[in-house]
A and B are shown apart, each in its own frame.
Chain A
Amino acid sequence: MSEQQFFKVIIDNVSIDVPAGTTILEAARKIGGDVAPPAMCFYSKLKGSGGKCRTCLVEVSKGSEKDPRPMPKLVASCRTTVMDGMEVKNITSSKVTDARAGVVEFLLLNHPLDCPICDQAGECHLQDLSYEHGKAGTRYEFQRRTFKKHNLGPYIQLHMTRCILCYRCVYTADQLTNSRSHGVLDRGDHAEIATFIENNLENDFIGNVIDVCPVGALTDKTFRFKNRVWFLKPLDAHRDCPKCTGKVTLWNRGDEVFRVTARKDEWGEVEDWICNECRFDKKKTSDWVIEGPRNISRHSVISQGHYVNTITSQETFEAVNEGRQPKLLFDIHSKSDVNKTGVSLSLIDGPAVSTDFTS
């Protein structure tokens, strides 16, 4: 094999060398922090994903060393590969931030905002996206879209009104299970995730659609309404599983396992796919070998600061913006008596109770 070719790209004034064939998004993730564009549909582990949600749009201000012309339109960074000498503007381009705020508004247009009763709240990428890139308030004055309800069987709960049509669950079913029994029916704003005709989602490994779904459209029926995720202790655990790696995160309260998920990396992507048995059937602590607290690397607004060793993104904003200070996320914990900062859920013995937070 010939030697791997490396390209130099500059993203938001930060330079990095990446192998040819890398996408702008992946290159930006290597830099990390605010430079990495948000991605609601791209999933590095799912072939063919990306390009749809348009949250990762960036400006290419210089095409390459050879052809320095800027690209005429904003491009989807998840599906555009880098060229040598390319210069990209993400948060340093007002065109990008404007367009992105527009995309967030579009994504929220018909979203029910039923976070208070949504199991995804606290680990929802749409919540993060809205906080970080959206605008306060809505200009939409019409009734939000509703759908006829479909039952997907005993494992998976579908809330179509929350779906952002990222197609990740479709690719997951295609690429992980032996046959796909759901998909996108109809088109445009009336497109919906459904089975044809009324079918259960029960194939092995289908449970992974819950983990890839960026919003609360597909949630775990065996965990439905049982608890809020931020009251649970995430623990790394494993078991000898004949079908998958058996490496999971348990979400416990005391000794009680509330739910089992795959382990997710810093971008919210699954590290190892897990089988349905591990996810839905092994709900006793004794089923598992506990490794210790899971380091949650998400920047979710609600989970912020409540897990041991939370990996917060390294602050690149100052470097990128020539010393200007980063914008501050609204820090809910400093305002609220309930979720005090400095209280680490993973370290509380037994079930967390409200005084754990107010003391």
Chain B
Amino acid sequence: MAVKLLLDKAHIPNIRYYDVYRREGGYTSLEKALTSMTPESILEEVKKSGLRGRGGAGFPTGLKWSFIAKPEGVPRHLVCNADESEPGTFKDRYLMEFLPHLLIEGLVISSFVLGSNATYIYIRGEYAWIPDILEQAISEAKANGWLGKNILGTGFDCEIYVQRGAGAYICGEETALIESLEGKRGNPRIKPPFPAIKGVWDRPTVVNNVETLAAVVPIIRIGGEEYARIGVGRSSGTKLMSACGNINKPGVYEIDMTISVEEFIYSDEFCGGIANGKRLKACIPGGSSVPILPANLLLKTAKGETRYMNYESLSDGGFATGSMMGSGGFIVLDEDQCIVKHTFTLARFYRHESCGQCSPCREGTGWMEKILKNIDTGKGKMSDIDLLWDIQSKIEGNTICPLGDAAAWPVAAAIRHFRDEFEWHVKNPTTCLTKNYGIAHYADEIHVPVIA
């Protein structure tokens, strides 16, 4: 049984409410942090824990916190990124719905470290019912003295405000989020300056993912060193995975990053195998932006070693033969899924969500979508495949924010690993409308799972 640090109490009825959360040991980390630790010593624990940002990029949280500028007399802010709009990712939603107090507790501790007296939760607009849950938790926490003025007599004041987004994926990008929070159009800013120097209202700001901030609670409870012992190497602690697609048990799972991809997909403790007795074709292991991998490269690295569910192993082989942990949105595709249609769907998403500031992303995403639609509907040409490759290469790295890259990578990976399927679509313009390419050729060696 894997270690659980975040979801260990999630199944307890009414854990959403203060009394139950408190009875189950809630707010003891906050108490410990504020009464027996200093911001510096908490920061030290977070650094020791090796916690890495769970929002996608995996940047070490302690290091990020230490970058925050501290000019005299200027307020600083912590912003919790709850915009969660990456297709295939829904772990933050689960945390906020079931364990809002865990997030609040993490937020207050982190605010204490960063010196944020006004902390914001920026939540995706489509999560329409969650702000109520959060706000209720906030008022309960406040009524019990964990929030507000002079918390636990330490002299530290902290308020948490919930701000709803208006339905734009780009507002999950931290600087677009900041613009939107300020009430402006959610265009990503040009960096530098980074938020740690000039963030919300030009004040030093740290933006962290919901899961990252929630993880601060167990880190304080068990200590940074103990936390770092869970997992492997630089992938310390536990990670929430949002598993979806053609699996028997879609849902949010907490893993300790030591299990293999194969175990995660096939074990009954997690995804429970591919649904309807089908075979695994491909998988996007970390949310829609990361490269898709065919079955053979997913379960084993190019070197033939077992691939594990952690930052390093998932990215083993670089983009040529590997992928990324990303935000942990684990999307599984079985043999009946069409890679071309799937890539088209993603391209359509990125075209629709581009903010339109920079020309390569604004124009390139639309172009890729149109070409992919043609190929998908049997109107493609052979030259379209190379053209797609060229377009994505002209977008990648040449844009203001990583959305451009996020739009380019899925297309690049699909062509890299599934080129024959694209060619089949072009050569069989009528058959491809009614039949699937399946897994006939590229995954010839069908893997027999060890765990059933």
Contact = CB atoms under 8 A, between A and B. Distances in A.
Interface of A: 50-55, 57, 73-74, 76, 79, 99, 102-103, 105-107, 109-110, 139-140, 142, 164-165, 167, 183-184, 186-191
Interface in B348-402: 351-360, 362-367, 370, 387, 394, 397-400
A184 B185 contact: yes
Contact of A52 (B168, B359, B364, B366): B359
B406 to A, nearest CB: 13
Contacts of B147: none
A142 B370 contact: yes
A103 to B, nearest CB: 6
B190 interface: yes
Contacts of A139: 387
Contact of B357 (A52, A57, A73, A190): A52
A187 B359 CA distance: 12
Interface in B33-60: none
Closest 6 CB pairs of A and B: A102-B394, A191-B356, A188-B354, A51-B190, A106-B363, A189-B366
6 contacts: A54-B399, A99-B398, A103-B360, A103-B398, A188-B353, A188-B366
Given A102-B394, A107-B363, 5 more contacts: A76-B400, A109-B363, A139-B387, A164-B359, A187-B354
A74 B397 contact: yes
B398 A57 contact: yes
A140 B367 contact: yes
**Chain B interface, >50% SS class:** helix
Contacts of B397: 73-74
Interface in B312-364: 351-360, 362-364
B215 interface: no
Contacts of A189: 351, 354, 356, 362-363, 365-366
Kindly name the residue among B367, B370, B387, B399 whose own CB sees the greatest number of chain A CB atoms within 10 A. Answer: B367
Interface of B: 168, 170, 185, 190, 351-360, 362-367, 370, 387, 394, 397-400
A53 B354 contact: no
Nearest to B170: A187
Among A74, A106, A164, residue most surrounded by chain B Cβ atoms (within 10 Å): A106
Given A106-B364, A188-B355, A189-B363, A52 B400 contact: yes
Contacts, number: 89
A99 B362 contact: no
Contacts of B400: 51-52, 76
Contacts of B370: 142
Given A99-B394, A139-B387, A188 B352 contact: yes
Contact of A102 (B357, B365, B398): B398
Contacts of B399: 54
A6 to B, nearest CB: 21
Nearest to A105: B394
Contacts of B185: 183-184
Contacts of A183: 185
Contact of A188 (B190, B351, B387): B351
B179 to A, nearest CB: 12
Contacts of A51: 190, 357-358, 400
A165 B356 contact: yes
A53 B359 contact: yes
A74 B397 CA distance: 7
A143 to B, nearest CB: 9
Contact of B168 (A50, A109, A142, A187): A187
A178 to B, nearest CB: 19
A79 B190 contact: yes
Nearest to A40: B359
A110 B363 contact: yes
Nearest to B188: A51
A146 to B, nearest CB: 13
A74 B387 contact: no
Nearest to B361: A188
A138 B104 CA distance: 54
B155 to A, nearest CB: 38
B365 A107 contact: no
Given A52-B400, A54-B399, A102 B360 contact: yes
Contacts of A188: 351-356, 362, 365-366
Contacts of A105: 394
